[in-house]
Structure 1
């Protein structure tokens, strides 16, 4: 399963790396397309943190750089779950600003589905939540067993003490 998983991640990431590099080389074309969305989001960004960039060209460059870095991380198998989550989060505004036909929308939805699968893929290993909940269950069972053993030993010790008092001498 590992070679299939590796190939699938590389194929999924390739479109984001190529598109991110293309956008970094010519950000102006994409900046014009995202301007309506950035005009609506700019007041929110300025209220959140005035240091955040609000210029469409800068935002396009930041998203393109994030796509390249996250795409390379996904393709190389490093930080795959966070990388897939970053790419999925960036795909949503990209889909909203893209002026395309139904085919582009379906392509982006397919990519989003693949990214969501990659974001939750634990590569056959138990997730952190599973491991912690089972560790807690094991420790609780061990504690209950220790308490039962201590009670049993205390009963035996009490019975031994009563028996010892009855002995002469």
Structure 2
């Protein structure tokens, strides 16, 4: 193993993005468990955590990874399709962020987001990522850029309320959703 043992940092851009995909898959699975148990508060927090992770992930892909993939592979159509899929996911994310934790539409909207993300991830991991690996892209340098931007976004977004127009937003003080009660 390498001597660099700072908390499981990915070695290249594809590994970093794949790790993000795995994290979101786990969050969706945990959401489903809570859906069956019926813990509304935890389920609502998980939905918002999914939205936060996906917002950061789509931002770093669109700002850094996709332009590099387009440049290195010349595959404009593949990148445009991925950006269109992000737009669909962002609409669902905005809808979820506007729902209260006990809203009956929450489960269905999270399920729609999960299906959209699973489709998108499948395409990226089977088409775009292999093409990126075969291209001349410096995936190590890209990884550093992605990681730096990701940390900046995590910092910026942790200071903002996650629920926009819901009644929970008024008492919310942190990204975890600790409402005054």
Same fold (TM over 0.5): no
| Structure with max Cα Rg | 1
> What TM-score does the superposition give when structure 1 sets the normalisation length?
0.33
Quick one: higher RCO (CA 8 Å, sep 6+), 1 or 2?
Answer: 2
Structure with the higher helix share, 1 or 2:
1
> What TM-score does the superposition give when structure 2 sets the normalisation length?
0.31
